[in-house]
A and B are shown apart, each in its own frame.
Chain A
Amino acid sequence: MAVLGIPILENLYPSTMDMWPLEAKEFNRNWQFYENLKQGRFTTTKCKDCGLVSYPPRVICPECYSENLEYVDLPNKGKIIVFSEEVKGVPLGFESPLIHAVIDLGVDPARRVLSRIVNCPAGVLKRGDEVQLAVFPVPALPIDKGKLGTVMSERVFFAFEPVKK
């Protein structure tokens, strides 16, 4: 499909216009975070030398600069501290209502994680409501592999959703 006004971009992928992270191993040393998401795990990195857990995941410990890190699980459930609902004027790429919440997952450093809330109509959420991790597919990343052609690298991303009572 041609790009309006820029016919030379027909069937080409411009990563500078991609709203999702470049999650593939070839472009991201924290690719394991996204692989864990695919297994339903919400994870981050912990320093095996000084013990610091960082969110989001890193390739060096921001405290002691060690590269000796491991992935650890964060809770998949939390409570809403505060939330906002955007009904009109939702930006391209998102559906109305666009709900954002600060979520307390109960452990450091995830006591105030900002996330989108999905699978939830406007006007029903309350402060203190319990929410759980929701993983969903996003468009695959087309990677130019030279002679092998373009390989599609599957991607997922996360939000939180109300826990059904």
Chain B
Amino acid sequence: MARNAVILAGGQCKWGVREAHLVDLFQEAAKACLNDIPTLKPKDIDGLIVATSYAGRCSFQVNTAPVIAERVGVKPTSICTRCDTLCAGGSTGIILAMGLVQAGAADIVMVAGGEKLYTPQKWEVFYSELASVDHDWDGVHGMGLPPPFFALTAQEHMMHYGSTKEQLAAVSVANYNYAATNPVAQMQKALTLEEAMSAPVVVPPLTLYDCCPITDGAAVCIITTDEIAKKFTDRPLVYIRGTAQVCLNSVSANFPGAHLADWKHTRIAGEKAYANAKVGPGDIKVAQTHDCFSISEVIEVEELGFCKKGEGGEFCGSKQIELGGKVPVNTDGGLLACGHPFGATGIRQGIEIMKQLQGRARHQVKGADIGLTHNLSGANAEHTVLIYGREPVK
């Protein structure tokens, strides 16, 4: 009989500028996760996948999985490893855990992602960001911190499709307002369109609220099979129906689209994940797309098929991403307002979709039965899509 993978529970620590060590953040998040499923104990967990990218640089720690296993009281017997796909690390961990539990190689896997990015000297993380892209060919041009790259992307979207700064600001407003009541978000403040439009310039046309902050934080979730999950919970089960992870280039000169606002790799990832999940874009009731920048969400809603190519600005600017809209997006605040500790983000997204599909989200989408998460990594070099549902793929 086929084994179906589900996301059983999840939790995260408070994200932001944290007075804590990397391993502290993971412990807080593991506790928050098990608080979400009090019947599950650390001894029940047989696998651990840790997603972190900057542990090596910012915490002088590689081979992170055993370090985290010990701190969170888990003694893995099926898998104990780390994955690094930067901004998609958490989603990668969930995909790997899914495959392991489906194959019977693991039963209950903890997927834990986190980063400690604020170091004692402020310059260091900005400097170390040169490692986030292809170091010798893009980072070396001062392209480590991504605002310039996404400023170019926004310009090309405006050139080719006529999107406006106000439409970008609408994304920031929606996501900040979703996060205003989220106690673990980095930015917990309501934002008006006027505030977003008059914010300080970062790299034109991007201003302050168009860019996600740098964040310390961790998130943890549990992936298991539906049959095992039923022993621990009466909540509706949330299945991982289909996934895809697409990488067509690393160096920005080899960007796969016709221009920086044409995200071919996102389209391929979406199409493949939809096919695996046996659903289409019209079935998605709620989504978490990778809003590292406001322009990213504008392009993602196009490439994932929520609207036509080129109409993402109009889609976001006309409240289609808000509650009551066509596809509410980033209902917990997204990267823009929750923050973005790289390895933790995909797990945060998965937790929000799990809560939405179980009917217990803070900003609940009525009748949500199919949800999607999406990440991009690096200088827009990799795209990862997961589709969750209340029913398994039949």
Chain A interface residues toward B at CB < 8 A: 5, 16-17, 19-21, 55-56, 81-94, 98, 100, 102, 109-110, 112-116, 157, 159
Instruction: Give chain A residues whose Cβ lies under 8 Å from the Cβ of B140.
Output: 19-21, 157
Cβ contact within 8 Å between A93 and B142: yes
Chain B interface residues toward A at CB < 8 A: 57, 120, 123, 126-127, 129-130, 135-145, 147-149, 151-152, 155-156, 159, 201-204, 251-255, 259-260
Cβ contact within 8 Å between B152 and A102: yes
Cβ contact within 8 Å between B253 and A92: no
Cβ contact within 8 Å between B137 and A56: yes
29 sampled A-B residue pairs with Cβ under 8 A: A5-B120, A19-B127, A19-B130, A20-B140, A21-B140, A55-B251, A55-B253, A82-B159, A82-B260, A84-B203, A85-B204, A91-B144, A92-B123, A92-B126, A92-B127, A98-B142, A100-B143, A100-B152, A109-B254, A110-B253, A112-B255, A112-B259, A113-B253, A114-B141, A114-B152, A115-B141, A116-B141, A116-B142, A157-B140
Across the A-B interface, the 7 shortest Cβ-Cβ residue pairs? A21-B136, A84-B151, A94-B142, A114-B252, A116-B141, A100-B148, A113-B253
Instruction: Give chain A residues whose Cβ lies under 8 Å from the Cβ of B144.
Output: 91
Give complex CA distance A7, B135 in Å: 28
Cβ contact within 8 Å between A56 and B260: no
**Beyond the given A81-B259, A84-B148, could you list 17 further A-B residue pairs with CB under 8 A, ordered by the A residue number?**
A5-B120, A19-B139, A55-B251, A55-B254, A82-B155, A82-B156, A82-B260, A84-B204, A91-B126, A91-B144, A93-B142, A100-B142, A100-B149, A102-B152, A112-B253, A114-B141, A114-B152
Name the contact of A86 in the complex, choosing from B57, B139, B203, B254 (C-beta under 8 A): B203
Name the contact of A109 in the complex, choosing from B127, B137, B252, B253 (C-beta under 8 A): B253
Give complex CA distance A55, B33 in Å: 45
Name the contact of B202 in the complex, choosing from A19, A82, A89, A94 (C-beta under 8 A): A89
Chain B interface, DSSP helix/strand/loop, else mixed: helix
Q: Given A19-B139, A100-B142, do A82 and B152 touch, yes or no (CB 8 Å)?
A: yes
Q: Given A83-B152, A84-B203, do A56 and B142 touch, yes or no (CB 8 Å)?
A: no
Name the contact of A90 in the complex, choosing from B142, B149, B260 (C-beta under 8 A): B142
Cβ contact within 8 Å between A91 and B152: no
Give complex CA distance A56, B253 in Å: 8
Instruction: Give chain B residues whose Cβ lies under 8 Å from the Cβ of A5.
Output: 120
A83 closest partner in B (C-beta): B152
Give complex CA distance A63, B301 in Å: 33
Q: Given A82-B155, A85-B204, A93-B142, do A114 and B253 touch, yes or no (CB 8 Å)?
A: yes
Give complex CA distance A19, B260 in Å: 25
Cβ contact within 8 Å between B253 and A159: no
Give complex CA distance A112, B253 in Å: 5
A105 closest partner in B (C-beta): B253
How far does the Cβ of B28 sit from chain A's closest Cβ, in whole Å?
Answer: 27
Name the contact of B145 in the complex, choosing from A82, A91, A109 (C-beta under 8 A): A91
How far does the Cβ of B137 sit from chain A's closest Cβ, in whole Å?
Answer: 5
How far does the Cβ of A123 sit from chain B's closest Cβ, in whole Å?
Answer: 11
Instruction: Give chain A residues whose Cβ lies under 8 Å from the Cβ of B201.
Output: 87-88
How far does the Cβ of A36 sit from chain B's closest Cβ, in whole Å?
Answer: 15
Give complex CA distance A112, B140 in Å: 17
How far does the Cβ of B146 sit from chain A's closest Cβ, in whole Å?
Answer: 11
A86 closest partner in B (C-beta): B203
Instruction: Give chain B residues whose Cβ lies under 8 Å from the Cβ of A112.
Output: 252-253, 255, 259
Instruction: Give chain A residues whose Cβ lies under 8 Å from the Cβ of B139.
Output: 19
Instruction: Give chain A residues whose Cβ lies under 8 Å from the Cβ of B155.
Output: 82, 84
Give complex CA distance A5, B57 in Å: 17
How far does the Cβ of B295 sit from chain A's closest Cβ, in whole Å?
Answer: 12
Give complex CA distance A91, B146 in Å: 11
Instruction: Give chain B residues whose Cβ lies under 8 Å from the Cβ of A98.
Output: 142, 148
Instruction: Give chain B residues whose Cβ lies under 8 Å from the Cβ of A159.
Output: 141
Instruction: Give chain A residues whose Cβ lies under 8 Å from the Cβ of B156.
Output: 82
Instruction: Give chain A residues whose Cβ lies under 8 Å from the Cβ of B136.
Output: 21, 56
Cβ contact within 8 Å between A86 and B148: yes
Cβ contact within 8 Å between B138 and A114: yes
Give complex CA distance A165, B104 in Å: 68
Give complex CA distance A21, B134 in Å: 11
Give complex CA distance A154, B260 in Å: 35
B261 closest partner in A (C-beta): A82
Give complex CA distance A94, B141 in Å: 9
How far does the Cβ of B147 sit from chain A's closest Cβ, in whole Å?
Answer: 7
Cβ contact within 8 Å between B251 and A84: no
How far does the Cβ of B292 sit from chain A's closest Cβ, in whole Å?
Answer: 16
How far does the Cβ of B125 sit from chain A's closest Cβ, in whole Å?
Answer: 10
